Structures are given as C-alpha cells and as structure tokens.
Structure 1
Amino acid sequence: MIMNREPNRALAAAMAQAGVSNKGLARRVRDVARRRGAHVGTTHVAVQRWLDGSGIQPQTAAFLAEALSEKLKQRFTPADLGLPGPAASVSALGTSYVASLPEALSVMEGLTRLRPEDHVSDELLLPEGEVNSAVLSWLVSRPDGLTAPETLPQRVTMRDVAALRIAAGMFMHLDFRFGGGHGHRPLRHYFREDVLPLLNARYSDRVGKALFTAAAEVSQLLAWTAYDTGNHALADRYLIATLRLTQVVDDRMMGARILTNMSHQANYLGQVSRAVRLARASVEGGRGRSTPRAMALFSAHEARALSTAGDVSGATRAMHEAERHFEHADSAEDPDWLAYMDEAELAGEFCHCFRDLKRGREALRFAERAVELTDPKYARTLGFCRIVLAQSQLLKGDLEAAVTTAGSAVDGGDALQSSRFQRYVTDFQRSVARHEGSVVVRQFNEKVRDAMAELDEE
C-alpha cells in the first residue's frame, strides 16, 4: 500500500465534477465491486482517508475509477485520480461482456497494456459459458446510444474519424503482408493513446456513430494480430471487448464479423462445436443488416467450421449460400474493411473446406484458383493457399508437386512471420513425414529450417 500524505486533489476534483458525496461514492464503489464478484467494505470514512492522501488497495482503486467513470460518462483510470491501479493480467481483464460503455472502454485500456508475447497459456482461454453468454448478450442487445457530455473540452470531427480509418487500413496492410506480430505493438499504443481519448471526448450523433464504427475496426485488428501471434487468450478478450464496442452504435455487420473471427479462432484451436455455434450466430446476427459480400464471408466461415466437423451436407449448403450471396456482392456499398473479400478469398475458403472434407479434386481446383487470383500483397493469405494447394496435391497422390508447391510458400518469406502460417507448414511436414526418405522431402525440411533460422536472426 502506497502512502501519500498530500491531499488527493485529483480525486476531490473528480468527485466535485460528479456531484457525489463521500457516502454516495462509497456506495457506488461497493456496487461496482459486487458486479465484479468482489466484496469491499468501503465507507464514507475510507473515502475521506483517500481524499486526505492515505493509501488504497489497487483493486479498490480500479473499482473507484469505474464508479466515477459511470457517473460522469467519462473514462477515468486510477492514475487519473492520483491512485495506484492493479497490475495488468490477461486473466483479470476483459473476461465478460460488460454492462456499460465506461466499463467497456476501461477493459480496452487494460488490454492494451498487455503484450502478445505474455500470458500465452491456452488454460487462460475464456470458458465456453462465458463466450456463449457474450454472444447471447450481443444478439439480444439494444444500442447504448451516444451520450457524450457537452462539457468535455475535446470535440471530435469527421476529420478525426477519417484519420482512424486511414490508420486502420495501414495496419491491416501490415498484418496481411507481414503477419500480426509486426504491427501489434504500435497498434495497441495507437489505440490507447489516440483512439480511446476520442471515444471519451464529445461529438455529434453523426460523428459519434462513425467514430465508434471506425474504433471497432481498429479494435478488431488488435484481436486479429494477437491471434496471429499465437496469443489466443489475449485475442479472446479483444474479440469479446470489440463485440461489446459494436453494440454502442448497433453496428451489426461488424459485430457479425467479430463472431466470424471468433469462429475462425475456435476452428483453428480444434474447438469445433464452438466454431460451428459462433459461425451460425454470425450468419443470424448479420442477416438483414449486412451487405451480400459480408454475408458471403459469414456463410463461408460457417462452411469452414462444418467442414472441420465432417458435416458434408451442412458444409455444402453453407458454401452454396456463400456463392449465392457473392453473386450479388457488387449490388451494395461495402465498408473498407471488407475489400479483401473477393473471388480469391472465397476460393481460398472453399479450398480449405474441401481439403478438410478430404475431397481432393475439388480442393485442388479451388486451391489452384485461389493461388492464381490472390494479390501478392496478401502475402500471408497467399502462403495459406499454397500450403492448402500442396495438401490437395498430396491428397491426389502427387508428392513431388506437393513438396514443390509447399516450398514456394516458404520461399515467400513474409508469411513466416505469422505463427498461424508456421503451423500450416508444420502440419504439411507432418503429412509428408512418412516419406522422409524422399530427397524432395529432405530438401523441403532443410529449406524450412533455414528459413526459420533466418527469421530468428532478424
């Protein structure tokens, strides 16, 4: 406990602005703690001690900051109030679909204090019940509405929103080209220092809607880049926190996209039933509120999950739905974040489906099409498609062609910075391990070792 005998003027000023008494603030702190599953015995006497400069437990300081944030509809951290805060831990942040906007912004601020290389244990993944509760809360939610007080000094303009969208595009390009690890650190700093202050400023309804939509685009990139680095516990929490942000202005299409990302991650981790449920929630949650191109994306990921589950009829139906939606893709204006969902992307999703269904001929056809059409600027996507093409060639019994194709994926280099792509390569190596006596397989394994060694030296 840190002692400070100087009066806490920052806390006094915030209480005066909120118009709360010592007793009133104590009651609010107890209420916040109760919602968080904790118990504190805060009284008006304790509040006076804090005002006089006495110490406070870090967890109680976090509850106090949250209580004032809710009262003023303006985000406060313990540091803003001259108080110590709790140590950042992925197991203690962003673990629920929180009730209020100040809570949601506080969760996001806390998550941006964490590095993707920390807390990587899959034991810290959110439990099934918590994920299901968050999805249900989103599906039945009503928008929070925009209530930024006019007394706040900073006013957000559409120029600020435009800057956010340009930044989101730049970080998305970095992610596609070099993998999530390359841009996650500057992205989380950008979100904490530039995006969150705008969300706590004042704005008109028109600007506010555009602002929160753009902020969710940046936030989902934080989730995706954490996922791509292999920190699934952190990605889990970013995804839930971003899903909560989409509720503020009822952005159902972005929310459905987040559910698709959650399904994608669950599928990758082998959580097949969770992946199927999340994908179906995405399709249902986006229906009637999303463009045909977006619905094609959501249906394609339902097909991916069902293919992993071995549900041939369900996966075939979902792929047909994706195709039907994509036929009308040019009939509506799409958000910029959806620009990557083109014919190449759809072919890439389908080749994954047919590979998992062990249908080599169709997998080969769609994989060849995906490799042919994918823009090289999407280096990671191209790497994925080449590995799936190699696996499809292997299904057809052509070992030499498969190894040559996989080698071209490794030669691309940039995709290797993605932990997900590295696993694709490892999976391919495992599939050809029974041919380890083959010259081409030995040469491929040596190529992978050299490429990874070179990556470690960078």
Structure 2
Amino acid sequence: MNREPNAQLIAVMNEASVSNKGLAKRMRDHAAQRGDNLGTTHIAVQRWRDGAGIQPKTAATMAHVLSNKLRRRLTPRDLGFPDPYEAAAPPTSGYPETFADALAMLEETTEERADSPSKLIVPDSDTSAAVLSWMVSRPDGLQPDRPASQRVGMRDVRAVRTAADMFMQLDFLYGGGHGHKALRHYFRHEVLPLLSASYSEKVGTALFSAAAEISQLLAWTAYDTGNHRLSHRYLTGTLRLTQVTADRMFGARILSNLSHQANYLGNHAQAIQLGRAAVEGGRGKSTPRAMALFAAMEARACSNAGDAIGAGRAMNEAERYFERADTAEDPEWLGYFDSAELMGEFCHCFRDLKQRREAIEHAQRAVDDTDPKYARTLGFCRMVLAKSQLINGELEAAVATASLAVDAGDSLQSARFQRYINDFQRDVNTHTNNRTVAEFNERVRTALSRLDAE
C-alpha cells in the first residue's frame, strides 16, 4: 500500500508556501470560476504528495494555480505528473494497480459531475484484465495503528453502516436519483478520510467492508440514473478495495453488479464472463444465499444472449444454492435477496428466452411476494409480467398490469424503470387504436410530467 512520495510536488508546494488545504481551496476556486465543480480536499492533496495517481484534468488545474502563485509557468510534468496533453487519460475501466490508485480513482470519481447521463464502452480486454487481476490477487493487508491525525473506532464504522442502510432504503423505495448526490458528498467527506486514518486490525477490517458497501451503493445509484461511466468507475474502484482485506464474497458481488450493468447495456459476452467470474470467484468464500445471487446474474446474462442451455444450468444452480440459504449467517447487505427477489431474476430470464408461461408464473409470484418497501423491484417485476402477458396475447391484462406499475412507481427517479415503461410502450403501441392503450399512454405522460416537476 506504500508508494514513493512525489518529491517534485512537495518541493513546488514548499516553494510556493502553500498548505494542503490552501492548495485544495485554490483548485476549487479556480474550477468554480470556470463553471466546474471540483471537490478536491486537503486529503486528496496529501495522497498526491504520497505518490497517488491523478486525473489529467485535475493535474492541469493544480499546475495552473501553482503557476499563478509562483508567477512562472508550470506543467503537470513539473509537479511529477504526466502532461495531460502528452499522455492519454487512463481508460474508463482501467483496474487500479495499487490501493493508493484505487483511492485516487474513487476520490476523483466522486468529484466528477453526477447529473449528466453518459454512455459506456468497455473494451473486452479491459474487462478480462480486471477479472484476472482480481482473481489472482493477494490481499494488500491493513496497516493497523499507523501514525495519523485521526483515530477510527467501531463507533465510526457503525455510523457508516447506518448511513449505508439508510441510503439503500432510499434507493429501493425512490430510485437511485433520489439520494445519489447526498451519498456522493457523504462518501467524499465522511468515508474516504477514514481510510487514511489510524485503526486497529479489527476496526480496519470492518471499516473497509463498510466503505466498500457505500462505494458499491454509489455505483448502483449512478447506474440507476443512467450514468454508466460513473457507475463503472465506482464499481472498478470498489472491486479493488475488496482486495485490501481479501473480501472475496463482496468482490464477487461487485463482479455480479458489473455483469448486471453489461447485460443492461447489451454487452452479452462481457455480462456472461463477469457473471461466471462472480460465481467462480465467490465459490468457497461466500454464503449459499450470495452464491444464489451470483448464479442468478449469470443466468440473466445467458438468457439475454439467447443461451437457453447456459441459462437453465445457472438457474438450477441458483435454486440449489438458495435451498440452503438459511444454513449460514449472511452479511446485512444481502438481506434483500429473498425468494421474491430470486423469482424476479428468474422472470427476467424466462421473458428474455420467450418462455411465456414460465415468465408469467415467476413474475406473478415475484409481484405477489415482493415487499412494498422494494418499490423499484416491484415495478420491474410488474413490467416483466406485463410484457409476458403481452407476448402471450393478453393485451387487456398486460395494460392493466403496466398501469399498476406506472401508478405505483411514478415517484421513482430511476432511468432503468423508465426504460421498462418505454420498452412496453413501444411494443403495445402497435395497438394504437385500442382505447386502453391510449389511456395507458396518457397515464405515462401524466406520471412523467409529475416527475419532471419535482
């Protein structure tokens, strides 16, 4: 976890007589003058002094403010960083080589704008490299009781876990867009600084686990709002965090999330690879309930790719694991994955495989059994049921089911839920002369106008 200090940056800062806090403030002020929102803190500056990596745009900002202070032109190269005009920015999906690199990625990702959805293209080679790096990794190990200005205790860890639980409830109930910005602020100012503090071995292990949960939730909420590049960077950084304490179960969970995202974006080969990596990477280190989740994600990927044999094998494996779900103590983050959630995953599989009877059966079971506090999941399952009913020729029933989903989910700030609605509208609008279809379209317009007004 150690790197060589950045002697050039330290020397220039000493020459300019600027502190970590002073440099961070100058960088934020300069960015604000250009209309940008840069969240650089004194903690980030210290990491750069310690040798952590930096984004080219951030390095250019630092060079500019130090140039103004010293009244001579400086480049990022003068500060010990590659010149952004001479070196390409690191790839979106680049896997952090060290723990310090992971912190730098998470710090700088948190500073990026979160309110503009973005596209994502991840080269297969980057996906394979990240999976291989995680699979063969050895734990970095903690550095307990190291000298630091702040000491972390279990009370701090409990606070982080409480916040994670609160934000997760908001996510399930109102969609990722509701709490994402507040969660980013909390992660940057309350969680990341703890990772550079002093702690015991026991506290450090719990702390990194809690921090990974918050980081993963940040990725999930970004994904739900449609910002896939931001989400992928959070997931990649979080995956690297799990290496510190060799948390293979949570690392496999991150791989399954990456599979889910790739599947959603239509990258079937990547989704299958990541889903299988989650299963194999978590095997022997995960509870049966977790393994059921990982296998279900592989099934989702195979189904969307049209691989009925692979999907059937993965669903059978998920069922076998879930039958033993109560034989082990699960972490709190896995508490949502109950039988209704498994049925929800399976109904997506059968829908994508065009197996109408099975899709309707599993979707109805998921709708009937899903706790209303999981409003977004319930909305997804209702839309899968509606789509399956439509495929089965049950137009009136399909529109009625979709209408229930729209009415119950009209407060969801979720780009994914809106996509379910849009896809159903596209399919049902072949019946534009049908009165119930026209009423449904009007219902959707009303719901969207209310959402836009909030």
TM range (shorter): 0.7 to 0.9
Change (3 A) 1:148 1:451: same
**One-letter code aligned to 2:278:** S
Partner of 1:253: 249
Given that 1:180 and 1:229 are in contact with CA atoms closer than 8 Å, whether structure 2 keeps it comes out as: yes
Which residue of 1 is the match for residue 113 of structure 2?
A: 115
Alpha-carbon contact 2:376-2:409 (below 8 Å) kept: no
Which residue number corresponds to residue 211 of structure 1?
207
The residue aligned with 2:31 is none
- After TM superposition, list the pairs within 5 Å mapping 1:101-140 onto structure 2: 101-118=99-116, 120-122=117-119, 124-140=120-136
Percent of paired sites with the same residue: 59
Change (3 A) 1:237 1:58: farther
Residue 402 of structure 1, aligned match among 398, 402, 406? 398
Distance 2:356 2:227 in 1: 32
User: Which residue of structure 2 aligns with residue 301 of structure 1?
Assistant: 297
* 8 A contact 2:144–2:201 mirrored in 1: no
Give, in angstroms, the shift of residue 116 of structure 1. 2.2
Aligned with residue 175 of structure 2, among 155, 174, 179: 179
CA distance, structure 2, for counterparts of residue 62 and residue 113 of structure 1: 21
1:12-411 equivalences in 2 (<5 Å): 53=70, 57=74, 59-60=76-77, 63=80, 95-118=93-116, 120-122=117-119, 124-148=120-144, 150-411=146-407
Q: What whole-Å deviation, never above 9, does each CA across 1:371-394 have from its counterpart, x for those lacking one?
A: 000000111000000000111111
Maintained 8 Å contact 2:55/2:89: no
Aligned equivalents of 1:117 and 1:338: distance in 2? 28
Shift of 1:8: 2.2
- TM-score, reference length from structure 1: 0.83
Cα distance in 1, alignment partners of residues 197 and 344 from structure 2 = 41
How far off is 1:107 after superposition?
1.1
Q: Is the 8 A contact 2:187 2:215 kept in 1?
A: yes
Question: Match of 1:429?
Answer: 425
Deviation at 1:159, TM superposition (A): 1.0
Q: Measure, in 1, the Cα distance between the counterparts of 2:411 and 2:136.
A: 39
Q: 1:32 to 1:154 in 2, by over 3 A?
A: closer
| Residue type of the alignment partner of 1:190 | Y
1:10 corresponds to which of 6, 15, 19: 19
Aligned residues between the structures: 406
The answer to whether the 8 A contact 1:148-1:201 is kept is no
Structure 2 distance, partners of 1:354, 1:393, is: 12
Partners in 2 of 1:338 and 1:5 — Cα distance? 48
Distance change >3 Å, CA 396–CA 174, structure 1 → 2: same
Look up the SS of the partner of 1:431 in the other structure. Answer: helix
Structure 2: 5+ residue stretches without partners: 1-11, 21-47
Secondary structure of the structure 1 residue equivalent to 2:139: coil
Report the Cα offset of residue 101 of structure 1.
1.4
The answer to whether the 8 Å contact 1:351/1:363 transfers is yes
Which blocks of at least 5 consecutive residues in structure 1 are unaligned?
Answer: 12-27, 41-45, 67-84
Q: What whole-Å deviation, never above 9, does each CA across 1:272-323 have from its counterpart, x for those lacking one?
A: 1110001000000100000000000000111100111111111111101000
How big is the shift at 1:96? 1.7
**Displacement, 1:63?**
4.7
1:315-354, CA deviations, whole angstroms, 9 ceiling, x for partnerless residues? Answer: 1111010000000101111111101100000000000000
Q: Aligned-pair RMSD on alpha carbons?
A: 3.0
TM-superposed CA distance for 1:416, in Å, is 3.5
- Give the secondary-structure state (helix, strand or coil) at the position aligned to 1:358: coil
Paired amino acid for 1:101: F
8 Å CA contact 2:260–2:297 kept in 1: the answer is yes
Any conservation in 2 of the 1:94–1:107 contact (CA below 8 Å)?
no
Whole-angstrom distance in 1 between the partners of 2:107 and 2:72? 23
**1:248 partner SS:** coil
| TM-score where L is the length of structure 2 | 0.83
CA separation of 1:61/1:133 partners in 2, compared to 1, >3 Å: closer, same or farther? farther
Give the whole-Å Cα distance in 1 for the aligned partners of 2:146 and 2:73. Answer: 32
Change (3 A) 1:368 1:187: same
